[in-house]
Chains A and B, each alone.
Chain A
């Protein structure tokens, strides 16, 4: 699996949009971009994933650049409960999807 690089930490004001970047310059054509987050003392929680088109769900939006070498996770209106470690992963999807290779993620702190 390709590796990703993320900033170690970011702050965001409550109610504002949080934009979390991720670089994945060696991504392969059949690899998806997945985002998970981990709130203290819990297991990682799936947020969203995409291949090349932008994606949106009830939790977040995912913007993938045209060359697929980077992406941005957007939390449109961050709340204090969004404080967590956010992991960007690239991974093959489909029936033969295997392991996820996690880096150390971005620690997002939402401040009042």
Chain B
């Protein structure tokens, strides 16, 4: 079956512009996570959805970052007034809402954002 997909795979934008990054989770997965990863570092948590609602947005760095998941499947990460420091790979992961062992996160390939 299809895995987590993210579009675009690469995005180049200019400082100050607005960008949207899209994540299509695995069908039926209720949990969805956004992370960002800078070169040479591990992924850094941004926000986590359980269904349509943000269960934990403690990782969003400031109010320029916002994410939505209006129908409980596809999610969009929105970044306003982009800065060069926002350049990173943005990773999305999904997870089924089940107890016990089957709680691993399935990651997409990421969107590489470059802010010039």
Specify whether A and B are partners: yes
Q: Is A60 an interface residue (CB 8 A)?
A: no
Contacting residue for B101 out of A49, A95, A104, CB 8 A: A49
Q: Is A42 an interface residue (CB 8 A)?
A: yes
Verify A93–B100 contact, CB threshold 8 A.
yes
Of residues 36 through 90 on chain B, the ones whose CB sits less than 8 Å from some CB of chain A are 40-45, 48, 55-56, 59
Contact digits for A34-69, partner B, Cβ 8 Å, 1 yes 0 no: 101000011111100100000000000000000000
Verify B42–A99 contact, CB threshold 8 A.
no
Whole-angstrom distance between the Cβ of A12 and the nearest chain B Cβ: 21
Report B-chain residues with C-beta under 8 Å of the C-beta of A102: 35, 42-45
Docked Cα-Cα span, A36 to B42, in Å, equals: 11
| Chain A residues touching B, range | 20 to 34
Verify B107–A43 contact, CB threshold 8 A.
yes
Report B-chain residues with C-beta under 8 Å of the C-beta of A95: 97-99
Report B-chain residues with C-beta under 8 Å of the C-beta of A85: 42
Instruction: Tell me whether chain B's interface is mostly helix, strand or loop, or mixed.
Output: loop
Verify B91–A43 contact, CB threshold 8 A.
yes
| Chain B residues touching A, range | 20 to 34
- Taking A94-B99, A99-B48 as contacts, is the C-beta distance between A46 and B106 under 8 angstroms? yes
Report A-chain residues with C-beta under 8 Å of the C-beta of B59: 99
Report A-chain residues with C-beta under 8 Å of the C-beta of B98: 95
Whole-angstrom distance between the Cβ of B7 and the nearest chain A Cβ: 14
Whole-angstrom distance between the Cβ of B110 and the nearest chain A Cβ: 6
Docked Cα-Cα span, A93 to B4, in Å, equals: 20
Report B-chain residues with C-beta under 8 Å of the C-beta of A93: 99-101, 103
Docked Cα-Cα span, A44 to B94, in Å, equals: 12
Docked Cα-Cα span, A105 to B109, in Å, equals: 18
Binding site for A on B (CB under 8 A): 4, 31, 33, 35, 40-45, 48, 55-56, 59, 91, 93, 95, 97-101, 103-110
In the complex, the 10 A-B pairs of residues with the closest C-beta atoms, listed nearest first: A43-B107, A102-B42, A46-B104, A99-B45, A93-B103, A94-B99, A102-B43, A44-B107, A97-B103, A95-B99
